[in-house]
């Protein structure tokens, strides 16, 4: 289970704004975000057990995030959903990314998932349990948990939506400031919705804040290597700006060549 919020195409200078808490078993090791080898360049963390990722950004400015989905029992031998996210991050745009994801799910069995794929031009959510469903990402605030996007029956989503809309989020700075507090909200009493999950062997293991901008120098990537009410957000923005600048240079070179 994870919680992922995307403020999509509402702030002109940052069409993709993301806040995400990752929940996982505490004994499942992972690596913090780093630039992966190969093309296109991708900035993401890695699950050391299966080799996949829970979210990342590639040099084309495409964001991919995955959450586990509540549903039928995952099929025996199902491929890690994080590996699907890495496959999609190799695509050049969101439309191709969605096509790639659907193709992969036709050929491989995956654990039940919600997959977010978006760039500045288009955005999508794939709800995949038995039969994958592709839903357009709405302009504005979208929150995904372990059921459908903006699920009105999900108390955690309703709480996150209420807390994120108490102020007008009209700039990347304001979104990140508000989201950093909302997603670091300490665990609530048992039986109440909460942003931080903390159990004996399972809970919130990291948190990420992202602002993607048409100008690479304005992009932001912050990562907390632990529950954000206990671990500070560290700045990984230079890595993100590096891959986005590379992508912009390559796009300009390709344009001149044609």
Domain ranges of the chain: 2-257
- Cα angle for residues 252, 255, 139 (degrees, 5° grid): 75
Q: How many helices (H) and strands (E) does the chain have?
A: 5, 13
pTM given for the model: 0.96
Owner of token pair 């794929």 = 117
Reply yes or no: is the peptide bond before residue 81 cis, omega within 30 of 0.
Answer: no
- Cα–Cα dist 257/184, whole Å: 47
Q: Which helix H or strand E contains 97, and what residues bound it?
A: helix 94-107
For the chain, 258 residues long, give each residue's pLDDT as a single digit of tens: 699 999 999 999 999 999 999 999 999 999 999 999 999 999 999 999 999 999 999 999 999 999 999 876 556 678 999 999 999 999 999 999 999 999 999 998 898 999 999 999 999 999 998 789 999 999 999 999 999 999 999 999 999 999 999 999 999 999 999 999 999 998 877 778 889 999 999 999 999 999 999 999 999 999 999 999 999 999 999 999 999 999 999 998 888 887
CATH number of 2-257: 3.60.60.10
């Amino acid at each position: 289970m994870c919680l992922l919020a995307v403020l999509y195409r509402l702030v002109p200078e940052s069409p993709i704004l993301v806040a995400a808490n990752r929940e996982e078993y505490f004994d499942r090791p992972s690596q913090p975000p780093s630039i992966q080898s190969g093309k296109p360049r991708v900035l993401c963390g890695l699950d050391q057990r299966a080799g996949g990722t829970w979210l990342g950004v590639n040099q084309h400015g495409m964001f991919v995030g995955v959450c586990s989905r509540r549903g039928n029992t995952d099929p025996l031998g199902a491929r890690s959903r994080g590996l699907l996210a890495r496959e999609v991050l190799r695509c050049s745009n969101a439309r191709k990314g969605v096509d790639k994801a659907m193709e992969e799910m036709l050929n491989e069995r995956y654990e039940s998932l919600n997959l977010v794929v978006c760039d500045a031009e288009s955005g999508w959510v794939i709800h995949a349990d038995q039969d994958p469903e592709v839903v357009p990402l709405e302009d504005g605030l979208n929150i995904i948990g372990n059921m459908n996007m903006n699920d009105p029956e999900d108390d955690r989503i309703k709480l996150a939506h209420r807390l994120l809309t108490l102020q007008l989020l009209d700039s990347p700075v304001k979104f990140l400031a508000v989201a950093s507090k909302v997603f670091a909200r300490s665990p609530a009493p048992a039986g109440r919705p909460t942003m931080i999950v903390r159990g004996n062997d399972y809970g919130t293991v990291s948190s990420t804040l992202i602002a993607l901008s048409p100008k690479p120098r304005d992009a932001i990537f912050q990562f907390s290597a632990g529950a954000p009410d206990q671990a500070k957000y560290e700045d990984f923005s230079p890595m993100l700006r590096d891959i986005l600048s590379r992508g912009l240079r390559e796009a300009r070179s390709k344009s001149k060549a044609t």
